[in-house]
Structure 1
Amino acid sequence: MDVRHKVLGAFLAAAALVAVTGAVVLQANAAAARDAAVSAAEQVARGISRDVALGLPPDRIGGTTAPLFYNPGALASYLLRQQETQNRDIVVVDRFGRILADAVPDEVGTTFAEDPDGEVAATIEDGRTRLFEERSDDSSEPMLQLVVPILGPTHRVNGAVILEYTQLYDQMMAATKPARRAIMAAVLVCVLLVALLGAAIAASITRRITSLTRAVQVIRDGDYSRRVALKGRDDIARLGHAFDDMAGRLERSAREILAKEYTDSILANAGEGICGVDAGNRITFANAAAGRITGLGVAGVLGADAALILPAADEGEGEGTLHRPDGTTVRVAYTTSTITKNGARLGAVVVLRDVSRQRALERDLRHQALHDGLTGLPNRKLFLDRLAHAMTRARAAGDRVAVLYLDLDGFKKVNDSLGHNAGDQLLRTTAERLVAALRPQDTVARLGGDEFAVLLEDAGEAAVRGLARACLDALNQPFLVRGRTAVVSVSIGIVPDAEQHSDADDVLRDADVAMYAAKAKGKGCYQVFESRMHEELLDRLDSESRLRDAVHRGELRLHVQPVVDLAGGGVAGMEALVRWADPERGLQQPGAFIPLAEETGLIAEIDRWVLFEACRAAADWPDTWVSVNLSAATLDLPDLTDRVAYALSTTGLSPRRLVLELTETVLMRDVTVTSARLEELRELGVRIAIDDFGTGYSSLGYLRDIPVDVLKVDRSFIDGLAGNARQQQLVSAVIQLGHTLGLKVVTEGVETADQLRLLTRMGARYAQGYHLGRPGPVEEQGQLSTNTATVRAGTVNVPDDFV
């Protein structure tokens, strides 16, 4: 049990004692009131007993008295008067217990039966006053009764007087009730005061003892700064003052001890070497780090000549190389501070730091910042720096500087099919081959991805072309990548006169332009930069920018070319074609902007526009289908089926009147994926056509595997048809094959009457070409323009003998 509980327990015991004392006082008060009531009742009862035994006093002097005991009438009158005047309930019985008089007349003559313990009989027997309680069924509270004997003249007990003193007892208790309340209140107040005082004193003592205890624990843990600062003049306060004084002395002593230990620990555990040198340049102090850095240990350093071990002992900072006894060297940065007194040099302090790893790391970081992490070649930043310096030197010396810009053709296919690790291996091998194919003084750099650059100094135009050819030959050889043979080529752009440019970035830009010209030429070759290439590039960028906004600005136009039913002589369908109303260059044919749209990814948005406009226009053409060309990018869209469904539902065009055309090249990229996508489209009800049939991957196999409905024979098979019997047989066979497979066959490029006659004889059903109808715009409400020379109100230029 702690001090607080003990003190609080003592005060609670005192409070309990006060409460017990109060209870005793209350009990004594109640007993005194009861005794007073009994005493008063006994006096009244004895007076009544005398009156009954001896008689009432005479009314006049000299008169005589007669006992009431023997006069029932007088006794009854006497008791009735007591009842009426004093409200006293009195019963008088004789020595045999018979009732002589009672406030209730009916009870007279009966034996008193309300004395279960025989107190009345005992009083008659021995003449002593007694108390008892009378209980009745009429009241839950007992009636307090007092019985006294009736003594005759000879002190013989003749009977007894029974007096109820309940009312008198209640009056006595009522009179003492305020006193009891006062006692109870005083006791309660004293108990509360004692408890509160005990709690306050216990809390005060406990708080100060706890403060001392915590301070002792803190000092035990080594913190000598703790103070308790207790107030007061009692014993605990004096103990606190003594403790604070002791803590202060301990703190001063500990500070003095720790100061030296701390200094020694710092010197011993410092990561930097620290040496003390005296005026004679001898090392008088060295920590463990100094011994480790020099390789001599502390014992080997102490007493040695500083000039033989340390890099220098002059004031200031520097860096040097230390040669250790084991033959190794370490790069050290040092700081020397001279110690002087009164102008005289007493010695110096030399601080050493091993910076070998730091310098190596700095070299690595510089290398990483300027070299490609995969191939180890210089990166773009270092290449541009070397190029700028080479250009400056070439201008001063009148030499030539050339730059080659190389881009691998087919690298993405290898990287996607064999994985990035294979791609990385291919790039490393490419770097090795380029370095081997060039001169030692040439700089080969990797610019990023599969792009490389070569800096050729002091090389004439013939030498530059020869080195470019060497790069082509080196990279045209097959690569062995992860057990597989990969074949790639390289396109090279050349700037042979880099020194004439004002900026290295401009040189690299022009080389890049020339490289793209080489790709456009057919890949696997090199191209020397010409100024027109830059202009063409700017023109291309401008066209791309304007084409991006063409759809949103409403510059696209829908043209259609009729597909003629040779059997009926009418228009069976229309092929939707797109034109660009370029505000700067006028109406552009598809060949002028579709390739650019495919390269930039704009073709999908153009295809969406053509699909919707063609469906909207065809909705007003009765019994005529419309065919729309889809690019490879559009076929790859995951929501292509939803786009087609939306166009059909919005325009109200029947799905059976929509034909989607795809070239053989697009269809054969991935037969499994293509077939699944085309099957989704056919489930909508639209039909699929193979455009330019016979010019791509012509194979009977894909006619079996890919769901198609229409074959469009390419125009190259129709040109020269009239004079070439073998070509006629080929076209006839294709037409018959299509009919056998249940496909519609449309021959494209019909431009002469002779071609039309031959195709009709071969059984061709549908044809398309300038001879039958030129492409023309669609007017509002979907009507064909009357400006189309060979299209008039839905009829076509078909000779009469073919109808």
Structure 2
Amino acid sequence: MTITLLLGGIAVVRGASVGWEAEGLLRQEVGRSLGETAKGLAERLDADMRARTARAAILGSLEALQDPRSAQRLVDEILTRDPSTAWVGVTDAQGTVVAASGGILVGQSVAQRPVFQRAQDGMFVGDVHDAVLLAKLLPNPSGEPMKFVDVSVPLKGPTGKTVGVLAFHYSWSWARDVVGALLDMVRNRTGTEVLVMAVNGTALLGPDGTMGKPLVFDGLEAVRARGDGWEVARWPDGREYLLGFSRGAAGQDVSDLGWTVIVRQPVEHAFAPAQEMRLHILLSGFVFAGIFGALGWLAAGWIARPLRLIATEAERMRAGEPGAAIPEITRGAKEIGTLSRALRELVTSLTASKAALARMEDIAYQDRLTALPNRRFFEQYLDVALSRARAEMGHVAALYIDLDGFKPVNDRLGHDAGDEVLRQVGVRLASSLRGDDVVARIGGDEFAAILVSSGCSGLANLDEVTARIIAAVNEVVVVQGQPVRVGCSIGVALWPLDGPDLSSVLKHADEALYEAKRRGKNQAVSYASMAASPLPESD
């Protein structure tokens, strides 16, 4: 009975302490990871909005928009090239629409609408709102309420006087597409949801039943005050969630929007690994306690002395004394020797379980600087990508991407500036690929991407993809008020054309990357092109 109670007590203490430690580690790690994910989503939304306002400003400077016929051709072309544009139109100085996509609202006055009035003094960016004039005029296959984000700029005549307005209504559905694409990085987290909260506290994006309604939960004021971080909060549904949040719209043109991105996960899902481990420890401890307690009771008279030795050492272990260990009994009854060895194995198992829980702290699949997947995620994803390609009889493209001219940025402006360049490059790489492609930061200024195609021709546009990546990375980055420009070299290899497995394909992609550096940098080189036309060896 004494042995049973002793072992049961050890199992309870070890199980409870290990479980609490694991919950603490998971709370910190998952909370930080959700916060970084929210920040990445907020930066992506902000980057998209800044790109739209910049495009509107450039288009607003075109003199062709002041001619109704030319303006009509231009707005039709804009609608064709940007699916997220629900409506774009040009007005005259009095607010009458003179050209519009699809001819919608041409001849009608929008003089009383904010998109016209607020653009008289400069660029106007309007928050998410319901459709008013266009609700019944635009196609709406989903049947859901249509919501727009407005951007408008004044059209200036030769004298600088406002002669009209160029107005865009962007469909808010593009935000859902952005969120859906970046959430692939956290799809392994059960129950993870994303909400976008407006400045007034209403939900602009979220689970069913939340859109358009005020978001009220414990910790709301802390979220608004801190801007970026993570919290544990209780929501009106009675459940506790781990929240990662980030307030975006730090840029000049979109600073009035102030959207807050919230990524939440139920606490019971976030802490499930720790709870399962604690239960496993408790159950295994009680099983062993019952077995060896019965053996101890049957042989109590004969094995009293060695059992007292075992009990003494167990008590020392429970007290945390250094050097304490269950002794291995080699003399006397065979059962005593078995008991001592089993107890040593039990303690070893419990210790290994604690070590395994400690390693859970290191299992984070996201690069904290760029919010992209990290090397560990990338390496684990390779098997998934290969299985998918085999199932779909497709191909896998492996891209190694290394920045050109990055070291001088660090040397001249410092590591903080270098970190900002890496963050922006990460956003551009993610924006340049499809939603189901994976791009990861694998260390320093090195990135890697995996693209999976279906069928025989899914990667026919790979040259376009690499050209798009190079063009995106080459765009100017403003850091500390200074324009900075970096480039990138890309090595490309294909499975199964360039290797029987992804390990050899990645090796060949790395070789192609070095060849791209050798050929002058800021270009993409495929492994197949190296084999077809190798450069002569230098003397």
TM-score (ref. length: structure 1): 0.24
TM-score by length of 2: 0.34
Q: Which structure: larger Rg?
A: 1
